[in-house]
Amino acid sequence: MRFASLLSLLPLVLVGTSLTTGPNELLPRATFANPVLWEDTPDIGIIRVNNTYYYTASSFHLSPGAPILRSYDLINWEFLGHSVPVLDWSSKYNLANGERAYVKGIWASFFDYRKSNGLFYWGGCIEFSQSYIYTAPAVTGPWTKRSTINTCWYDAGLLIDDNDTMYVAYGNTQISVAQLSADGLSVVKSQQVYSSSFTIEGSRFYKRNGQYYIFVTRPADGQFILKSSSPWGPYTINTVIDKTPSPTTVNGGVPHQGGLIETAAGDWYYMAFIDAYPGGRIPALAPVTWSADGWPSVQLVSGRWGSSYTTPNISPAGSVKSPVGTDTFSTISPEWEWNHNPDTTKFSTGSAGLRLSTATVTSDLYAARNTLTHRILGPTSIATIVLDYTSLANGDRAGLALFRDSSAWIGVAKDNGAIRVAYASGITMVDSQWTTSSTGSIQASASIPTTGRIWLRATANVMPGANGKGSFAYSLDGQNFTPLGGQLSFITNWTYFLGYRFAIFNYATIALGGSVTVSSFTLAKA
Ligand SMILES: *[C@@H]1O[C@H](CO)[C@@H](O)[C@H](O)[C@H]1NC(C)=O
Ligand SMILES: *[C@@H]1O[C@H](CO)[C@@H](O)[C@H](O)[C@H]1NC(C)=O
Ligand SMILES: *[C@@H]1O[C@H](CO)[C@@H](O)[C@H](O)[C@H]1NC(C)=O
């Protein structure tokens, strides 16, 4: 079943109450803690539709792409769907025939809702060449590719003006604006509107009180804003935050490259991401105020982004699914993304769970199709799968990885009819073309019965600066877990962009034909 939504509306922190007694303050206001969601969801584009908030994030080579999250209070978020159902613009996104597309794919893109025709729009540039626009009649889809733009809308932000005209702001350092056709699917005019003396990118495009704003980041430590009375400029620039330390609860990089959002009550917030490797880039929220002359500033606490703030004044219109809980794979729910497009003939879901047939003959986890990934919940979490290995074929490896450009796994290996639970490490890619530099090796193993099921567990600590590590254990009864293998020291390099993930895999080293069934995945805070 899908994750339960127990407790999801409780504020993360309850304050010691100072009981003010004004008529509007009969209840003490709670506070929320940053990050609001400790999961890798960078390049935030945030919107509100009526009383519901959505945000879109980058997902690179993972499929489906461009996750959509939903919240009713800006604090509790759930994964709702994806704007890009399949990465179908190049065969290399299939991870087949020796091709791979690691770290390419979905980057900083736009996402918005257009009232006049009831469509949601997603758009983004792929591999510095073309841009694609997808639309959907409902946020959950179906999402379809509607047009190809022969320009790279590098880091695109969409504005739907009061008179329904759509504009895209994009670019790196030279910022351009494109005005779209009435259907929002082609360009009628575009021009450069600003040239910066330092690197800026990550455009988000807003209008407030008749002024046009392009909200840009200086990677990876500053946020700036351009303002003009016309979408075409001239724009003047102002600093929003510059080298502001992240919340002490994370102690990661400077919060940047996010979006501004206005609540139904007219309060403004900035949701930015914090570089928090090895876990990835995670969202933090802070209140924003506007000066009389129309410049926003972020409310800081002792010169840094707050670890907590007063909870937004919002009456939530609903509740969201908790990030922790058990998934039994009645379907592939939107928390999950495949490593590249999956071979859809090699997996199924249903009442028995997730059946993964081997899809690739390889000794390289990074070349194996149909690895299903799930973000790690920081700062520490534990993932446990129940895996039936009765139908493995000789040479198969199936299990649970901590997956990034330096990976390790616990799994089941079948060789010459014998079954072992195994720990493999030293699985690495190098950071130019993301070619595999080592397929790793099995470092520890133990015999298990030749048929049956096994509980496989990975524990991850992705707190920045904590020399985060992953460790592995297994159980044959679901009660008593035995540690296996050494610890994986997480690498914190940013060049792979994505953070570590839990990853369920099954690949063949000899021949296709084997399969496993994963009846559940349980995510818990450590
Ligand atoms: C927003 O609210 C209005 C008024 O209740 C409703 O007509 C409209 O369908 C809602 N829009 C969406 C996208 O739910
Ligand atoms: C909407 O307003 C903009 C800015 O004033 C203008 O350039 C554009 O032509 C208008 N579009 C329509 C459809 O009225
Ligand atoms: C991480 O980055 C450093 C500095 O660029 C580099 O020397 C090292 O090889 C990288 N490590 C990995 C595992 O990519």
Same domain, 272 and 376: no
- Say if residue 17's pLDDT is above 60: no
Whether residues 281 and 358 share a domain: the answer is no
Residue-level pLDDT at 27: 55
Q: Determine whether the shortest distance from the Cβ of 415 to ligand 3 is under 6 A.
A: no
* 207 & 269 share domain: yes
Best residue among 164, 165, 230 to mutate for probing ligand 2, ranked by most atoms within 8 Å of CB: 165
Structural domain of 342: 325-525
* CA of residue 50 to ligand 1 center, whole Å: 6
Domain boundary residue among 277, 310, 343? 310
Average pLDDT over residues 3-22: 37
Q: What angle do CA 255, 372, 327 make, to 5 degrees?
A: 90
* Residue 2 maps to a domain: no
Residue 6 belongs to a domain: no
Q: Ligand 1 in contact with 115 (CB < 6 A)?
A: no
432 and 501 inside one domain = yes
pLDDT digits (tens, 9 = 90+) for 265-280: 999 999 999 999 999 9
How far is Cα 48 from Cα 71, in angstroms, rounded to an integer? 9
Q: What is the DSSP letter of 335?
A: T
Question: What is the overall mean pLDDT for the chain?
Answer: 95
> pLDDT tens digits, residue range 233-277?
999 999 999 999 999 999 999 999 999 999 999 999 999 999 999
Instruction: Please give the Cα distance from 64 to 122 (Å, whole number).
Output: 14
pLDDT at residue 29, as a whole number: 73
Per cent of the chain over pLDDT 90 is 94
In terms of domains, do 330 and 295 share one? Answer: no
Is 49 near ligand 1, meaning CB less than 6 Å away? yes
Reply yes or no on whether the pLDDT at 52 is more than 50: yes
81 Cα: distance to centroid of ligand 1 (angstroms): 20
At 5, is the pLDDT very low, low, confident or very high (cuts 50, 70, 90)?
Answer: very low
Q: Rg of the Cα trace of the chain?
A: 23
How many domains in the chain? 2
Residue 488 and residue 469: Cα distance in Å, rounded?
Answer: 5
- Dihedral sign, CA of 341, 140, 68, 232? positive
Mean pLDDT of 280-289: 98
Percent of the chain with pLDDT over 70: 95
Select from 488, 493, 496 the residue to mutate for testing ligand 3; criterion: most ligand atoms less than 8 Å from CB.
493
> Can you give the pLDDT at residue 119?
98
Contact 524, 418 (CB under 8 A): no
> Would 224 be classed as within a structural domain?
yes
Ligand nearest to the Cα of 160, by number:
2
Asked if residue 8 belongs to a domain, the reply is no
pLDDT at 12: 38
Residue nearest atom 9 of ligand 2, based on CA coordinates: 165
What distance in angstroms lies between residue 369's CA and the mean position of ligand 3's atoms? 26
Same domain, 306 and 332: no
pLDDT exceeds cutoff 60 at 139: yes
CATH of the domain at 502: 2.60.120.200
Q: For residue 4, tell me if it sits in a domain.
A: no
What pLDDT, on a 0 to 100 scale, did the predictor assign at position 314? 96
pLDDT of the residue at 21: 36
User: Considering only CA atoms, which of 502, 521, 523, 513 is closest in space to residue 387?
Assistant: 521
d(CA 513, CA 218): 50
Number of other CB atoms surrounding residue 76 within 10 Å: 24
pLDDT recorded at residue 229:
98
d(CA 370, CA 388): 17
User: Ligand 3 pocket check: which of 404, 431, 500 to mutate, most ligand atoms within 8 Å of Cβ?
Assistant: 431
Out of 49, 50, 114, mutate this one to test ligand 1's pocket (max ligand atoms within 8 Å of CB): namely 50
Q: What residue owns the CA closest to ligand 1's atom 13? A: 49
Instruction: Give the distance (Å) from ligand 1 centre to CA of residue 53.
Output: 13
pLDDT of residue 132: 98
Same domain, 512 and 459: yes
pLDDT digits (tens, 9 = 90+) for 66-81: 999 999 999 999 999 9
- End of a domain among 283, 310, 337? 310
With respect to residue 134, please indicate whether it lies within any of the assigned structural domains: yes
Q: What integer is the mean pLDDT of 172-198?
A: 98
Is the distance from the beta carbon of residue 191 to the nearest atom of ligand 3 less than 6 Å? no
Ligand 1 atom with least separation from CA of 118 = 13
pLDDT (mean) for 276-298:
98
Q: Among the atoms of ligand 2, which is closest to the Cα of residue 231?
A: 4
**Where does ligand 2 bind, in terms of residues with CB under 6 Å?**
161, 163, 165
Any idea which ligand is nearest the CA of 166?
2
Q: Are 299 and 499 in contact (CB under 8 A)?
A: no
Where residue 7 falls among pLDDT bands split at 50, 70, 90? very low
Query: Distance from the CA of 432 to the center of ligand 3, in angstroms?
Result: 11
Domain closes at, from 310, 334, 356: 310
Burial (CB < 10 A; 0-12, 13-18, 19+), residue 492, is middle
Nearest CA to ligand 1 atom 4: 50
Q: Please report, for the domain that includes residue 73, its CATH number.
A: 2.115.10.20
CB of 185 closer than 6 angstroms to any ligand 3 atom: no
Using CA atoms, how far apart are residues 184 and 437, in angstroms rounded to an integer? 44
**Residue 406 Cβ contacting ligand 3 at under 6 Å:** yes
- Per-residue confidence at 431, pLDDT binned at 50, 70, 90? confident
- Protein residue with its CA nearest to atom 3 in ligand 1: 50
274 and 345 share one domain: no
Task: Give the burial class of 126: count Cβ atoms within 10 A of its Cβ; 0-12 exposed, 13-18 middle, 19 or more buried.
Answer: buried
Host H or E run for residue 284: strand 281-290
**Same domain assignment for residues 301 and 335:** no
Closest ligand 1 atom to residue 113 Cα is 13
493: CA distance to ligand 3 center in Å? Answer: 6
Instruction: For residues 38-51, give the mean pLDDT.
Output: 98
Q: Is 6 left (phi over 0), alpha (psi -120 to 50) or beta?
A: beta
| Residue 318 included in any domain | no
Q: Do residues 275 and 402 share a domain?
A: no
Residues 56 and 111: beta-carbon distance below 8 Å: yes
Quick one: average pLDDT of 179-199? 98
Report the pLDDT averaged over residues 369-379: 98
Q: Is 430 in the pocket of ligand 1 (CB under 6 A)?
A: no
pLDDT at 11 over 80: no
Does residue 273 lie within any of the structural domains? yes
Residues in contact with 122: Cβ distance below 8 Å, sequence separation at least 6, in sequence order:
56, 66, 83, 84, 109, 110, 111, 133, 134, 135, 136, 143
Alpha-carbon distance of 512 to 70, in angstroms, equals 39
Please tell me the distance between residue 51's alpha carbon and the centre of ligand 1 in angstroms: 9
Q: Are residues 337 and 459 in the same domain?
A: yes
The ligand with the least distance to the CA atom of 405 is: 3
Asked if the model's pLDDT at residue 454 lies above 70, the reply is yes
Residue 501 contacts residue 400 (beta carbons within 8 Å)? no
Q: Give the 3-state secondary structure of residue 428.
A: strand
231 and 114, same domain (yes or no) = yes
